[in-house]
Structure 1
Amino acid sequence: MRHLTLFLGTFFLLQAGIINGIAMVVDGTPVTLMEIEKLSAQAGISQSQAQYELAKQALTVRLAKEHQVDISESEIDLYIDGIMRQNNLTKEQLKQQLKLQGTTYPKFVEQIKNQQLYQRLVQALTYSKLSTPTDEEKRAFFAQNSADFATPQSIDVIEYHSPNQASLQSIAKSPLFAPADVTQEHKTLTLNSINPQLAQLLLSTPVSSYTAVLPLGAQTYGMFYIAQLGAVETPNYETIEPKLEAIMQNKQRNMIMKTLFEDALRKANIDYLRVEPLQF
């Protein structure tokens, strides 16, 4: 009877894969083609990389249990409350925004839980393994990676505002057709004089692309089009030195976690239904 139950479970899972587009099953957790395609589009990565990231996500819960890492529902609630305060959103406004983005509040909560669980797992597994770089090591790292620290001093943007989030989203899809409730203004923003989070968002958005729609409070939304980057400047060692320890330790942290997850993926039971096997 046990073998029959296992057979039927596998049969129905495979049938679900045919019907719902399950791409692979990682230790019992299904990953769909739609999830792979959506992450690929949102993050600007290849579908094979999206497949790898979703497989890692599926393993996070198991690894957290193995290493006795957990996060409570109340901690998740507090984190989401912080997101709402930072963006001047009520819970209903957040739900509405998520709906416009094609997702739901429960899925958002699950995503936040996975992200926070992963961060806690990273801290638990890497804290004792990180080394403090010497001044000589920091200077060598800066010399080898100086181009990575070069940033534009200003960015030419078109700034859009509207009381309707959907209106801004329609511009991103069809720039030639601006709804009547949208205002726009061409600006040159000096990066060291604006909010650091906004500066990071602008720098991470490719030229000739739009940022995500941002809630500005009082039923107002904003969005930026990146028109052109200004002159690029590379800071000297003394300017960047206070940040180097954190940057170098973050690289160490990423390498430790990469090795851990690749080892876990090799040992995982993965059924590939509609995708090629992971390569790493």
Structure 2
Amino acid sequence: MKKILLSFCFFANLASANTIDAIAIVVDKEPITTYDINEKMEKLHLSKNEALQVLINEKMEKSQMKKFGIFTSELELDNAINNMLSQNNITLDMLKADLKTKGQTYEQFRENFKKDLEKRKLYDQIISTTKIDYSDIGAKKFFEQHQDKFSIFTEIAVKIYTSKNIKFLESLKSSKKTMLKGENAILTPENADPRLLSLLSQVSTGDFSPILNSKNGYQIYKVESKSGIQAPEFEQVKNDVLNAYVSEQRQNYIQDYFDKLRSKINIEYLR
């Protein structure tokens, strides 16, 4: 009787494992398993539908990379990483040490860096099929329609959290709870970098900034209050406006490209 029971348990577990890793969707001959969906949900804290949309987008990107013949050699990857290190004035050993504090291996970093590099290549290839407007006239019109994006507050009350462990700050951003003691500060054009004021001006009161590098490790800013909004003249922020204008055109075209592709591509739902 024990043997029969053990055999039943074995096949039950096998069936359960097969169900967990069963193919749920096929996107242009690229499979997505139920395991892929669950992993994406857990990793990015997404709902099932949100995770599914992310995975479908990734498969569409992969199919387009094959179409355009996009790939990255190990030599090209090494050169790209070396350029990144040089631009950020850090060494490979410093990068590896930083990755270790985040619980990530250098091999994982290389794989993710390669994926990002190939995605940028794909987007550049897609963008090359359209015409981007770089004119001052277009940028000025964009500025007039989105002045709030370029206005800054001249007085921003913040609480600054500093740590050498980025995970503490990531946890703070997601849960808003921490054992770290925050430093209160009032930032103004007289005592703060204009780029920091511009960044924090776009953060809603009560929310946190992105995690930033600092002399003592990493920092995150919680915006307590903002006052004294100031709208700059177009010429004062012309370069920032042009960059934002071009970036929006690129994003809109890429979104439109994949929306049209999604309507044409073969997506087969199995589960």
Q: Normalising to structure 2: TM-score of the pair?
A: 0.69
* Contact preservation (8 Å) 2:140, 2:234: yes
Residue of structure 2 in register with 1:7 after alignment? none
Residue of structure 1 in register with 2:40 after alignment? 35
* Contact preservation (8 Å) 1:156, 1:189: yes
- C-alpha separation in 1, matches of 2:55 and 2:127: 21
| Structure with larger Rg | 2
Instruction: Tell me the secondary structure at the aligned position of residue 235 of structure 1.
Output: coil
- CA root-mean-square deviation: 3.9
- C-alpha separation in 2, matches of 1:134 and 1:213: 33
- C-alpha separation in 1, matches of 2:24 and 2:160: 40
What one-letter code is carried by the residue in structure 1 that aligns with 2:30? G
* Contact preservation (8 Å) 2:102, 2:165: no
Residue of structure 1 in register with 2:55 after alignment? 54
- C-alpha separation in 2, matches of 1:141 and 1:18: 51
Percent of residue pairs bearing the same amino acid type: 23
Unaligned runs of 5+ in 2: 1-14
Residue of structure 2 in register with 1:109 after alignment? 110
* Contact preservation (8 Å) 1:130, 1:253: no
Residue of structure 1 in register with 2:193 after alignment? 194
Out of 81, 87, 100, the position equivalent to 1:96 is: 100
* Contact preservation (8 Å) 2:96, 2:105: no
The answer to whether 1:234 aligns with 2:231 is yes
Unaligned runs of 5+ in 1: 1-13, 275-280
Distance of aligned partners of 1:264 and 1:190 in 2 relative to their CA distance in 1, 3 Å threshold: same
Structure 1 residue 186 displacement after superposition = 0.8
* Contact preservation (8 Å) 2:26, 2:269: yes
Alignment of structure 1 residues 198-217 onto 2, 5 Å: 202-203=200-201, 205-211=203-209, 214=212, 216=214
Residue of structure 2 in register with 1:252 after alignment? 249
Write out per-residue CA displacement over residues 214-254 of structure 1, whole angstroms, 9 at most, x where no aligned residue: 55467x44333222233322222333334444433333322
Alignment of structure 1 residues 106-145 onto 2, 5 Å: 106-127=107-128, 129-132=130-133, 134-145=135-146
Structure 1 residue 91 displacement after superposition = 4.0
Write out per-residue CA displacement over residues 52-86 of structure 1, whole angstroms, 9 at most, x where no aligned residue: 34322222232122123333333333444455563
Distance of aligned partners of 1:238 and 1:84 in 2 relative to their CA distance in 1, 3 Å threshold: closer
* Contact preservation (8 Å) 2:101, 2:165: no
* Contact preservation (8 Å) 1:17, 1:23: no
Structure 1 residue 40 displacement after superposition = 5.2
Residue of structure 2 in register with 1:8 after alignment? none
- C-alpha separation in 2, matches of 1:264 and 1:82: 34
Q: Normalising to structure 1: TM-score of the pair?
A: 0.67
What one-letter code is carried by the residue in structure 2 that aligns with 1:33? N
Residue of structure 1 in register with 2:220 after alignment? 223
